[in-house]
Amino acid sequence: PEVPALPVVPFTFPTNTNPPEPEVIPEPTIDTTPTGFIARNLNGRNIGMGIGLIILIVGGLIFFKSKGMNKKKGKLKSKIDKNLFRKNRDSW
């Protein structure tokens, strides 16, 4: 059974007094801020790079925050962690 070819309908714009302007895609303005840089890398092929950058930035922030803490807090935390670990080990 032969499938009849679909009639080719020429695409016509709605009748306006002035011809419709082609949709103008604005040139992406290059944003030099880090967020803009990430956003630019997130679309298209560089999506991995964008995600990598976000991970790098977040990781860096966490790293610097933990490094910036005063040593007393750090020692206290490690003591608490050790105690918790001992308790957990006893309950295994």
Q: pLDDT tens across 50-91, in order?
A: 667 777 777 777 776 666 555 555 555 666 666 666 665 555
> What is the Cα Rg of the chain in Å?
30
- Is residue 53 situated within a structural domain? yes
Name the band, by pLDDT with cuts 50, 70 and 90, for residue 45: low
Q: What is the pLDDT of residue 92?
A: 47
Q: Return the structure tokens found at 55.
A: 């991970």
Q: What is the pLDDT of residue 21?
A: 55
Q: What is the pLDDT of residue 34?
A: 58
Q: Is the pLDDT of residue 44 over 60?
A: no
Domains of the chain: total: 1
Q: What is the pLDDT of residue 55?
A: 78
Q: Which residue has the tokens 């957990």?
A: 88
- Is residue 43 situated within a structural domain? yes
Q: What is the DSSP letter of 48?
A: H
Which of 56, 54, 25, 58 has its CA nearest to residue 37?
A: 54
Q: Is the pLDDT of residue 32 over 50?
A: yes
- Is residue 39 situated within a structural domain? yes
Q: Is 78 helix (H, G, I), strand (E, B) or coil?
A: helix
Q: What is the pLDDT of residue 56?
A: 78
Q: Are 51 and 37 in contact (CB under 8 A)?
A: no
- Is residue 88 situated within a structural domain? no
- Is residue 14 situated within a structural domain? no
- Is residue 52 situated within a structural domain? yes
Domain coverage including residue 39 = 34-82
- Is residue 22 situated within a structural domain? no
